[in-house]
Chains A and B, each alone.
Chain A
């Protein structure tokens, strides 16, 4: 079967750094996406990794290790507006997105 695992909830402090992990087992791999979803809103695209390594985009970075079936999203200089759920999704051999359940990130002042 296909499976995406991420922590249910994490708490961090404003101004700090947080790493959200995602492990996956899928039939094939054509890239991994991270999305941000604020409560009551639609998910919005954050990052895409298809090759191993780190992709940096401002305060957000995403890392991929295909051999380990592992990715993480790194958020730096946390702001209160970063409080949201972060969804990991893998594009499988049929180019269908397999979604994790999401990690709810709580930022405390």
Chain B
């Protein structure tokens, strides 16, 4: 069966500090991978998605970046965090085929920027 891991679960960082959130998927190959952010009481905002190693599409221009160094690894980074980067960050995966594309979510990382 497939599982998706995210860490850390919670993070408190000062403004201007760097960020690295990691997501890994097990039990599937060549998945589509997604990074979302969810502000308190709000919907999901798609930040990045990837259809393969080294292939990243950015949905929202900002001070965040994403990388996919391995097939089942997706990393979200920032060189300098802003207060507005606070939120609940969710990684998700789906099958790569152009068909039924249910997304499966990791447990999330709650980031607070002070």
Residues on A with C-beta less than 8 A from B88 are: 40
Asked whether B25 is an interface residue with its Cβ less than 8 Å from the other chain, the reply is no
For the complex, give the distance between the alpha carbons of A50 and B44 in Å: 22
- B46, B88, B105, B108, most chain A CB atoms within 10 A: B105
Q: Mark A44-86, 1 if CB is under 8 A from B, else 0.
A: 1100101000000000000000000000000000000000000
Interface size on B, residues (CB 8 A): 20
Asked whether B70 is an interface residue with its Cβ less than 8 Å from the other chain, the reply is no
Given A40-B110, A42-B108, A87-B43 contact (CB < 8 Å): yes
Q: Are A97 and B105 in contact, with the CB atoms below 8 A?
A: no
For the complex, give the distance between the alpha carbons of A95 and B98 in Å: 7
Query: Smallest Cβ distance from A44 to chain B, in angstroms?
Result: 7
Which of A10-18, A19-27, A98-106 sits within the interface?
Answer: A98-106
For the complex, give the distance between the alpha carbons of A40 and B105 in Å: 13
Asked whether A7 is an interface residue with its Cβ less than 8 Å from the other chain, the reply is no
Query: Smallest Cβ distance from B108 to chain A, in angstroms?
Result: 5
For the complex, give the distance between the alpha carbons of A99 and B59 in Å: 13
Residues on A with C-beta less than 8 A from B104 are: 45
Interface size on A, residues (CB 8 A): 21
Asked whether B58 is an interface residue with its Cβ less than 8 Å from the other chain, the reply is no
Given A31-B100, A48-B102, A95-B101, A42-B43 contact (CB < 8 Å): no
Would you list which residues of chain B between 27 and 47 have a CB under 8 Å from chain A?
A: 41-44, 46
Residues on B with C-beta less than 8 A from A97 are: 101, 103
Residues on B with C-beta less than 8 A from A31 are: 100-101
Asked whether B87 is an interface residue with its Cβ less than 8 Å from the other chain, the reply is no
For the complex, give the distance between the alpha carbons of A41 and B108 in Å: 7
Asked whether B106 is an interface residue with its Cβ less than 8 Å from the other chain, the reply is yes
B residues with CB within 8 A of A: 41-44, 46, 49, 88, 90, 98-108, 110
A residues with CB within 8 A of B: 30-31, 33, 40-45, 48, 50, 87, 91, 95-97, 99-102, 104
